[in-house]
Amino acid sequence: MENNKLISVIIPFYNAGDYVKKTIKSLESQAYRNFEVIFVNDGSIDNSLKIIETQLEDVSFNYKIINLSENGGLSNARNVGLSKAVGEYIFFLDSDDYITEDAFEKVIELFMSENPDVVFFQFKRVEENGELFQHYNELFKNVNKIETSRNILMKYLNLEIFIYACSIVYKKEIIKKLFFNEIGYIEDQDFTIRALLESDKVGYINSELINYTKREGSIMNSKFSLKKLDKIKLFDIFYNQYKTKDEELSKTFSMRRSKELLWITRAYIKSEKNLKIKEIKKYIQTNILTDKTMPYFEKKYLKELNFKNIIQFFLLKYFPTLYINLIKLS
């Protein structure tokens, strides 16, 4: 298919080291060649910039490198890259992930044939050495090639599908008024949700087009952190934003908020293998079940949950020791 639609690829990096070599190699291997790459050096203090400059010496794609004077965080780096992008489509790629050689070709074909506002695709997680860690095919078995953005948003909120920052491509027109909020742990989810809310039509490619690298020390693989509670805050913001203008959507945000509270509590209990039960209970009651989260135990919020989740909330509130023991045994 002949076309000249430009894809802008935005790659922030901070102390990326050798990981970025695979990323650049995957870009050079693309069958579809009309793309630009914007590397944003987020104040790296290792030799990442030198590695990238060396790797770029023999590439045939257009690129630019933006050097930031200090480390401002992933959101800021992505926003800087977005402000410099000139393509009609925007793709955010992490410096340790890499795409298949037909990725851009398939994405552009779907944009040209169906004219969606965004296109997302499957991915697989791989170890640092490239070995497979996990497929996610089961999460996409009920997705059509073209769906309304509302349907996709509902499936996303209900965890029927999984979209991460690098498994989705946007029409620039759709996200021209958006930016990544500097809210750390949940910046990707926040942006994805707001982009879907701005969209009407979503395209889906039933292929694993990107390798999502599982790195030691990354947020997803690190020890439990209270930053995970930011997810609850995020869904609380969206719930309050829509509770007076979209009942169905607000109920879905409320349900996801409640489930996040259960999942975060469960994650903490599972992460503490050596603490005594009474110490775990004290931590939960001090840091997770706070004045801000306890209102979510009210009946008006719990009624949207399934019976299993309601029982979990009941045990967590009234019989926390029993709840902790059950989670440890599960």
pLDDT at 219: 44
Phi and psi at residue 129, to the nearest 5°: -85, 5
pLDDT at 260: 93
How far from chain centre, in Å, is Cα 196? Answer: 13
pLDDT at 267: 92
Q: Is 309 helix (H, G, I), strand (E, B) or coil?
A: helix
Tokens of 204: 């889906």
Q: Is 36 helix (H, G, I), strand (E, B) or coil?
A: strand
DSSP string, 167-210: SEEEEHHHHTT----S-GGGHHHHHHHHHHHH-SEEEEEEEEEE
- Given the DSSP bridges, would you call strands 98-99 and 201-214 parallel, antiparallel or unpaired? antiparallel
pLDDT mean for each 10 residues of the chain (330 residues):
83 89 97 97 94 95 96 94 97 96 98 97 90 87 95 94 96 96 86 97 97 68 74 93 94 94 94 92 94 90 91 96 94
Tokens of 264: 């975060």
pLDDT at 16: 86
How far from chain centre, in Å, is Cα 187? Answer: 8
Q: How far is CA 125 from CA 20, 115, 139, 210, in A?
A: 16, 29, 14, 9
**Is 276 exposed, middle or buried (CB count within 10 Å of its CB: 0-12, 13-18, 19+)?**
exposed
- Can you identify the CATH homologous superfamily of domain 7-219? Spore Coat Polysaccharide Biosynthesis Protein SpsA; Chain A (3.90.550.10)
pLDDT at 216: 64
C-beta of residue 169 within 8 angstroms of C-beta of residue 104: no
Tokens of 145: 């090639």
pLDDT at 223: 65
Nearest to residue 154, comparing CAs of 122, 202, 115? Answer: 202
Nearest to residue 314, comparing CAs of 23, 49, 326? Answer: 326
The C-alpha angle 162, 168, 172, rounded to 5 degrees, equals 145
Q: Which H helix or E strand runs over 242? A: helix 230-242
Confidence (pTM): 0.91
Where are the strands (E) in the chain, listed by range? 7-13, 35-41, 62-67, 89-92, 98-99, 118-127, 132-135, 146-148, 168-171, 201-214
pLDDT at 1: 44
Q: Can you tell me the distance from the alpha carbon of 12 to that of 146, in angstroms, rounded to the nearest whole number?
A: 30
pLDDT at 190: 96
Nearest to residue 200, comparing CAs of 121, 122, 115, 140? Answer: 115
Phi and psi at residue 33, to the nearest 5°: -105, -5
Tokens of 143: 């997705």
